Structure 1
Amino acid sequence: MEPGGGPAPLRKACQNCTIAKRRCIVKLPRCARCSAKSLDCSYDLEPLPSESRERQPPMWKRTRAGSEGPVHCLLQRLSSQGDNPPPAIVRMHEDREGIEYVVWILSIIPNLVVTNVPSVFIHPKRRLSLGENPLVTAVDNLRRKPNLGPSNESFQHLLRIDPTNGPLDDALTAVQALMLYMVAFMFSGDTATQNATKPYFCRLSNWIDTLEMRAHDITTQGLTPWQGWLFGESTRRTILAAHIFICVFNRHQYELSDKKVWMEALPFDGRFGLWLAETPQAWIASAGEKRGQDVQTKLVSWHEFSTNRPVIPMGPDGDMFMSMMLVSHNGKTEL
């Protein structure tokens, strides 16, 4: 029993993920990580020690359903109750100006990508360095045929890719291609195309789960400092941007897995200007360093970034991923 008299929360991570200190995407009979690695999977379901709960930083705090006052985050937290926690519910805040701002940023992503401008989660220099892949194909298709729909042959071929196999780089480009197509379809202005796209949100959610699980094993071996940074940051931004995209189109009520309850803790590099750099020299200068080896990666959680309220440009010339995350967390009227 906890000091307050209620039952202690149960450990949901399997033994393998607990030992490896990895995020556990709970599934039966095996969690996602154990399934991908062909490991035996078992759950202890033992109570977490009170000390572990007390050491949790503020970013893990959950909000009870029905709490009074405004909820600015796109995700409203629900408190865990015993061994059967309720699902997290996505609720867009009533700040209509903020919602419209996030929708606007999402809607211009395809145009930025096809014009080779750094977008929310796709950087042109990284994409061009990869040669032929699903993302390059998606960009070329959208450039030549802006009115594509889900019945497009290339889109259907993309859906047959298995992001659990092959290099992480391939999984990332596949997820980015899927999301780019879906953003273009959902903002096409054609009701039939939008309705035909909605069933694929489940596919996007599953692919993001896989990418998030595999991102724990990310490696930048063989890449220059700039390319390594772009790879890692592209992965982090793709995961977070996909969560926001899913929230936008399910803003009334959408049940998430337990893993996504902790979305506020997902990190990215919070230094302004690095993502907008289009040469290694500009990237190094943006970080205030003299060599690429000294830039490193300085991660900050979405919660920490937003509660610090950094002053960043909110227009198209700024880093629209950062402004989208700031508005999504705080609401635009509070900035």
Structure 2
Amino acid sequence: MSAAHSTPGQFTTRKKACLKCSEAKARCSLQRPMCSRCQGRGLECHWFNPDSPDTNGASAVIDYAAVGESNTSFPASVLAVEELRYSSTPIEPSPTTLESARIGSRWMDALIPPPGRIAKTFTSQTIQYISRILKSYAKTIVKDDALPPIVHLFQPAAPRQLLVNCRTLLRMWENRAPGSESLVRETILREMNRLFEEHHNYDHITLLSACQAYLLYSMYMFFCTDPDTRAMIDTATMINLQELASAMSLTGLYPSGMQERPLPDWESWIVAEAKRRTLYIMYSFDHVFNYYHDTTSYIGTELGHLPLPAHKGLWAATTENSWKTEYERFTREWPSEAPRLEDLWPQEAEVVVKERRERADRWVESADEFGMFMFAMSNMIFGS
């Protein structure tokens, strides 16, 4: 039967074309996962699902398998890097591992205010600033040749597939066909649920990627979508996110040897630094979520002992030798201990205040954009 004389509800020959060719009313090669026209123009190639009949395209369903196959890579710069030796890189438990329980139970603070904890009320201007920064991080995952500042260029390849899936699904949302919002939304939520349900079986490196992906899904859907999708990031989502972050922290937040000050393995340093950055952003997102849900936020003092974000030379190093050079310079500048988050926090004792202010000033001199955001967050949390 021809397309012009199809009966209602019958999938027609024209619907075999991909979405881009259909929209442009152009001839499609019908080659999957990417047709020749889309490939030649560098376009995302999405497909109608032939099992979902529709005569006008308004409720067309995206073929998830085809989209996934046509867009399953990190930026080109990531694919070009060498694989590192992650199979033998230990991570040391945090010296306050028990604090991971506090990370996983932050959602309970509003129900049972913890004794000795400090509540924080944010202004709308502060929340707008934090939201803009977090939104930019979430948007970065769908861009070419870019990564959010919580994901390291050299994170291991196998667990990185979870982040590749994240990029693919969020790009599906950005390039969704009219009427497909519900399907794409449900597909993202299914993947988020899978990450949470399977996280007990992950090793510490895969758990890092799972937590990063879950956080990026949550922030993207909260900041970058429509009101219906944003509403799906609810308290249950935040509970799952905090449990993932707690499980991640239990596997260690320091690279092997870091606390004794020798040179750690580059691979384990990458994983530990990415874990801490992910944790810091999860707390920032938690403050924004609580604000919009009229829930009290509490200052995350359990993170105070953790190191401040590494400076740009360390985080952006692209070879082990260049990283070693930067790390040796870092240990010369900080011979006793690395700067910690609590160095940015106020203290009552005048001697401690002076010492920490000097440490904070030295750290700021080499902080990158992510570090400066953490500096701003500390000022907003402990400021008036």
Normalised TM-score (structure 1): 0.60
Q: CA deviation at 1:327?
A: 0.6
- State the SS of the aligned residue for 1:250: helix
Percent identical among aligned pairs is 20
- State the SS of the aligned residue for 2:342: helix
Q: Aligned equivalents of 1:26 and 1:131: distance in 2?
A: 22
Contact 2:253 2:272 in 1 (8 A): no
Q: Aligned equivalents of 1:139 and 1:103: distance in 2?
A: 20
Please, which runs of 5 or more residues in structure 1 have no aligned partner? 1-19, 34-76, 78-83
Q: Which residue matches 1:182?
A: 218
Contact 1:158 1:174 in 2 (8 A): yes
Contact 1:270 1:298 in 2 (8 A): no
Contact 1:150 1:196 in 2 (8 A): no
Instruction: Tell me the C-alpha RMSD between the 2 structures.
Output: 4.3
Q: Which residue matches 1:194?
A: 230
Q: Residue 101 of structure 1 aligns to which amino acid in structure 2? A: Y
Q: Aligned equivalents of 1:325 and 1:107: distance in 2?
A: 15
Alignment of 1:304 onto 2:333: no
Alignment of 1:323 onto 2:336: no
Q: Aligned equivalents of 2:375 and 2:254: distance in 1?
A: 28
Q: Which residue matches 2:115?
A: 86
The aligned runs of 1:242-281 (5 Å cut-off) are: 242-251=282-291, 252-254=294-296, 260-281=300-321
Q: Aligned equivalents of 1:225 and 1:296: distance in 2?
A: 18
| Bigger relative contact order (CA 8 A; separation at least 6) | 1
Q: CA deviation at 1:118?
A: 4.3
Q: Aligned equivalents of 2:336 and 2:146: distance in 1?
A: 22
Size of the aligned set, in residue pairs, is: 250
| Partner of residue 23 from structure 1, selected from 92, 97, 113 | 97
Contact 1:267 1:302 in 2 (8 A): yes
Q: CA deviation at 1:282?
A: 4.5
Tell me which protein shows more helix as a share of its residues: 2
- State the SS of the aligned residue for 1:273: helix
- State the SS of the aligned residue for 1:196: coil
Q: CA deviation at 1:305?
A: 4.6
Alignment of 1:122 onto 2:155: no
Q: Do the aligned partners of residues 178 and 304 (structure 1) sit closer, same or farther apart at CA in structure 2, a change above 3 Å counting?
A: same
Q: Residue 280 of structure 1 aligns to which amino acid in structure 2? A: E
- State the SS of the aligned residue for 2:313: coil
| Partner of residue 204 from structure 2, selected from 165, 168, 173 | 168
Q: Residue 342 of structure 2 aligns to which amino acid in structure 1? A: H
Q: Aligned equivalents of 1:260 and 1:279: distance in 2?
A: 34
Q: CA deviation at 1:207?
A: 1.5
Q: CA deviation at 1:25?
A: 5.0
Q: Residue 125 of structure 1 aligns to which amino acid in structure 2? A: F
Q: Which residue matches 2:252?
A: 215
Q: Aligned equivalents of 1:209 and 1:132: distance in 2?
A: 20
Instruction: Report which stretch shifted further, 100-109 or 149-158.
Output: 149-158
Q: Aligned equivalents of 2:137 and 2:100: distance in 1?
A: 32
Q: Aligned equivalents of 1:86 and 1:116: distance in 2?
A: 46
Q: Residue 124 of structure 1 aligns to which amino acid in structure 2? A: L
Q: Do the aligned partners of residues 272 and 184 (structure 1) sit closer, same or farther apart at CA in structure 2, a change above 3 Å counting?
A: same
Deviations 1:234-286 (A, max 9, x none): 11111121111111211353366xx9442333324443432233443543454
Instruction: Report which stretch shifted further, 246-255 or 172-181.
Output: 246-255
Q: Do the aligned partners of residues 287 and 261 (structure 1) sit closer, same or farther apart at CA in structure 2, a change above 3 Å counting?
A: closer
Larger radius of gyration: 2
The aligned runs of 1:41-120 (5 Å cut-off) are: 86=115, 88=117, 90-94=119-123, 96=125, 98-114=126-142, 115-120=144-149
Normalised TM-score (structure 2): 0.53
Q: Which residue matches 1:232?
A: 272
Deviations 1:281-304 (A, max 9, x none): 5434544659xxxx9996322121
Q: CA deviation at 1:156?
A: 3.2
Instruction: Report which stretch shifted further, 141-150 or 237-246.
Output: 141-150
